[in-house]
Amino acid sequence: MNLLTTPTGEAFSYADMETESARIAGLLARLGLGPGDRVTVQVAKSPAAVWLYLACRRGGYVFHPLNDAYRGEEIAFLLADAKPALAVCDPQRKALFRELLPHGCRLLTLDAHGHGSLADAAGKSSPQPEVARRAADEPAILLYTSGTTGRPKGAIISHGNLASNVAALIETWEFTASDRLLHALPLYHAHGLFVGLGCTLASGASMLFLPKFDPAAVVAALPDCTVMMGVPTYYARLLREPGLDREACRNMRLFISGSAPLSPEVFAAFRKRTGHAILERYGMTETGMLTSNPLRGERRPGSVGLPLPGVALRVVGPDGSVRRPGEIGAVEVSGANVFSGYWQQAGKTAEAFTPDGYFRTGDQGYISADGYLTLSGRSTDLIITGGLNVYPREVELLLDGLQGVAESAVVGVPHPDFGEAVVAAVVAEPGTAPAEAGIIAAMKERLAGFKVPKRVFMVNDLPRNSMGKVEKTVLRARYRDTFADRP
């Protein structure tokens, strides 16, 4: 059967995958790479990029993907930190990479159409059918955190981490060989690479492989698919497509959302239009997927669901004591899915884990009496104003529910009296013009005064990274001087 079909009609079978990945693995071996060597990759999404990833898995090489939006300084830092034996880039960036390569690193190219020096060399190579034997705790992936709160850190993801997480997801979401995934996510991120591709391969399913997310193309493709994975921004944009309706989704069994919070408003609107309740899940670079709303059971808006099989999850207070149901605290996790540590940063690794081996996610949240996890925000996003804690997510949910508000983001900025003040950036619904004073007045009716934004800034769009997460560091920097002149 076909594994992967492109919008232009190209089709690749599982046998093609086997041959092409083995051919590239053979090339890498002949270039002198050995198990454990890093392969840094910044290329466009394509079938050939999938074969390259799988070739690294076959040969025991550590795959190190880069966001294709990264430019000079970002690439320079990541190359210097990862110290790869081989880098693969788009032909148009060959000169840039050649300037930045660490000593001894080879360079090959691969473009969006599968052409380049990698493809040329691999085409002349014989397949290497052998698969390197690697232990479960040996590294498979070097995946850097997004770096929105500082320099990115390289998370070392093992073969065992990947295998355990994919097995839990297939069980939870009931993936089978009869599924066809609408793959519109990028391949440089855990969501598209490990979750989307991993679930497909491990279940024997197939993919409709879109080069990027395009709302109209996705709606057109839905009738031929059974599952879609996306970030909340995807679903918000799909709701603007007139063709999105129950008929377009007639063969779909599951829509999955992650990588950023899904608003209850988008959840409700999508359900009304399509008849499908989006299944929200929660994961991180360092841990893979951690929780999921149930396939068969209540998909609770605003919640990221229940721990996956094999995942132990707890919410603790500042003293490490486990919080009671409904009490907000720090989310900590353990399991075979959790990474082994940060690349060349033993100190950061030690800080990330508790004495009894739980990973400190940096997220705040609470667990309901029936086990559902709801996130309140990042620990770094917590606002302390006048000595009182404000969880941005609580304020954002109420803002998003106001008439005329499409979406919002809440941050804390310096304030001479309160230490920090709550401010909000708000995107209006098309055709509306909500006023700052009206929004603040409405919030005062719904929230304690210290939680109400002291300023509301109307913006056209919220700053987001490539996976749709709001970059709150950008907003904090933008508005940090809001109260600078106040006595």
Tell me whether residue 174 is in a domain: no
Do residues 255 and 278 touch, judged by C-beta distance below 8 A?
yes
Looking at the 3D structure of the chain, how many domains does it have? 2
Predicted pLDDT at 393 = 84
Return the CATH number at 389: 3.30.300.30
Buried b (16+ CB within 10 A) or exposed e, 172-195: bbebeeebbbbbbbbbbbbbbbbb
Tell me whether residue 213 is in a domain: no
Tell me whether residue 37 is in a domain: yes
Predicted pLDDT at 150 = 53
Q: What is the 3-state secondary structure (H, E, C) of the chain?
A: CEEEECCCCCEEEHHHHHHHHHHHHHHHHHCCCCCCCEEEEECCCCHHHHHHHHHHHHHCCEEEECCCCCCHHHHHHHHHHHCCCEEEECHHHHHHHHHHCCCCCEEEECCCCCCCHHHHHHHCCCCCCCCCCCCCCCEEEEEECCCCCCCCCEEEEEHHHHHHHHHHHHHHHCCCCCCEEEECCCCCCHHHHHHHHHHHHHHCCEEEECCCCCHHHHHHHHHHCCEEEECHHHHHHHCCCCCCCCCCCCCCCEEEECCCCCCHHHHHHHHHHHCCCCEEEEEECCCEEEEECCCCCCCCCCCCEEECCCCEEEEECCCCCECCCCCCEEEEEECCCCCCEECCCHHHHHHHECCCCCEEEEEEEEECCCCCEEEEEEHHHCEEECCEEECHHHHHHHHHCCCCEEEEEEEEEEECCCEEEEEEEEEECCCCCCCHHHHHHHHHCCCCHHHCCCEEEECCCCCECCCCCECHHHHHHHHCCCCCCCC
Tell me whether residue 249 is in a domain: no
Given 76, 99, 134, which residue is the final one in a domain?
Answer: 134
Predicted pLDDT at 135 = 95
Do residues 334 and 340 touch, judged by C-beta distance below 8 A?
no
| pTM for this prediction | 0.83
Phi/psi at 212 (5° precision): -160, 170
Tell me whether residue 54 is in a domain: yes
Predicted pLDDT at 390 = 83
Token pair 């001479």 in the structure block, residue: 416
Chain segment 444-480, per-residue pLDDT in tens: 988 878 889 999 999 999 999 877 789 998 999 999 9
Tell me whether residue 42 is in a domain: yes
Given 88, 104, 134, which residue is the final one in a domain?
Answer: 134
Chain segment 298-353, per-residue pLDDT in tens: 999 989 999 999 999 999 999 999 999 999 999 999 999 999 999 999 999 999 99
Tell me whether residue 35 is in a domain: yes
Predicted pLDDT at 486 = 63
Given 92, 114, 134, which residue is the final one in a domain?
Answer: 134
Predicted pLDDT at 146 = 59
Range of the domain at 434: 382-479
Predicted pLDDT at 385 = 85
Return the CATH number at 108: 3.40.50.980
pLDDT tens per residue across all 487 residues of the chain: 799 999 999 999 999 999 999 999 999 999 999 999 999 999 999 999 999 999 999 999 999 999 887 888 889 999 999 999 999 999 999 999 999 999 999 999 999 999 999 999 998 887 877 899 999 999 999 999 854 445 679 999 999 999 999 999 999 999 999 999 999 999 998 999 999 999 999 999 999 999 999 999 999 999 999 999 998 889 988 999 999 999 999 999 999 999 878 888 889 999 999 999 999 999 999 999 999 999 999 999 989 999 999 999 999 999 999 999 999 999 999 999 999 999 999 999 999 999 999 999 999 999 999 999 999 877 778 787 876 778 788 899 889 999 999 999 999 998 887 888 999 999 999 999 999 999 999 999 888 788 899 999 999 999 998 777 899 989 999 999 999 876 5
Tell me whether residue 80 is in a domain: yes
Pull the structure tokens for residue 17.
């995958």
